[in-house]
């Protein structure tokens, strides 16, 4: 599905954006979805944190790795990948991989991260299935996206949502912007041509999922090339696309 006009191109480095929280279902999701943009933001001095909802212990295809061991492996891979793009605060919620639902408990736990970190921008996965990019619409992605949207509005700002958070000393917080990855109708494009190599290096940290990752540059590059063309950028440019929603 295409929009009636190309997405607006902007780098997301704006006055008043000092802290960003990226919420993703699995280790490696943040790197596939937004690592190029994150690298630009951290280079500009923006403080970025990751909140990873599951440990990804149902991922990969190597049956010789015990599922009990894979969770720790994937946590370490995600920390290494995050460091490549300048992120050093990575939090894991520990939900089961492959069975995620947008429960009240998940909304609360994401809301806890929002109120604790008090970001100006939250980045998440799309809660809407994208039929043109079905790989991005894993059920866990949809659930994590839905719960994060609910945390963005209204939970994080509502003092009466999840009252246990007030008891923990976490006051309400209004997030300025929500940036949604893999949305079927994006309205923002970030030119990540200059940070593409770091995005690929971050993805190659996920050895349990991508092996040596020889295929990553070509495949991911083709996706970002399509994003750049959709945004009307010149040939040779690469872009990550988002649906940006501002707080009411």
| 9, part of any domain | no
| 190, part of any domain | yes
| 8, part of any domain | no
For residue 180, how many other CB atoms are within 10 A of its CB?
27
| 2, part of any domain | no
Contact 198, 84 (CB under 8 A): yes
Contact 202, 189 (CB under 8 A): no
Domain hosting 22: range is 16-246
| 202, part of any domain | yes
| 11, part of any domain | no
What's the pTM? 0.95
Distances (CA, A) of 118 to 13, 133, 135, 145, 216: 18, 31, 31, 18, 34
121-153 per-position pLDDT tens digit? 999 999 999 998 898 999 999 999 999 999 999
DSSP symbol at 60? S
212-221 per-position pLDDT tens digit? 999 999 999 9
Number of domains in the chain: 1
152: domain CATH number is 3.40.50.10320
């Amino acid at each position: 599905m295409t929009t009636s006009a190309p997405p607006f191109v902007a780098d997301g480095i704006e006055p008043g954006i000092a802290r960003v929280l990226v919420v993703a279902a699995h280790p490696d999701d943040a790197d596939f979805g937004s690592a190029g943009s994150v690298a630009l933001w951290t280079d500009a001095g923006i403080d970025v944190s990751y909140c990873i909802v599951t440990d990804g212990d149902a991922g990969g295809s190597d049956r010789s790795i015990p599922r009990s061991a894979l969770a720790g492996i994937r946590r370490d891979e995600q920390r290494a990948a995050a460091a490549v793009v300048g992120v050093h605060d990575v939090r894991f919620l520990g939900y089961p991989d492959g069975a995620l639902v947008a429960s009240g408990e998940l909304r609360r736990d994401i809301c806890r991260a929002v109120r604790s970190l008090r970001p100006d921008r939250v980045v998440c996965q799309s809660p809407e299935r994208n039929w043109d990019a079905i790989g991005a619409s894993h059920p866990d992605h949809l659930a994590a996206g839905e719960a994060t949207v609910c945390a963005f509005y209204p939970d994080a700002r509502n003092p009466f949502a999840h009252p246990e958070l007030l008891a923990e000393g976490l006051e309400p917080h209004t997030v300025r912007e929500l940036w949604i990855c893999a949305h079927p109708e994006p309205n923002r494009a970030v030119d990540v041509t200059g940070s593409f190599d770091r995005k690929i290096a971050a993805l190659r940290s996920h050895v349990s999922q991508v092996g040596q990752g020889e295929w990553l540059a070509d495949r991911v590059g083709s996706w970002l090339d399509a994003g750049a063309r959709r945004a009307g950028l010149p040939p040779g440019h690469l872009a990550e696309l988002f649906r940006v929603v501002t707080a009411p």
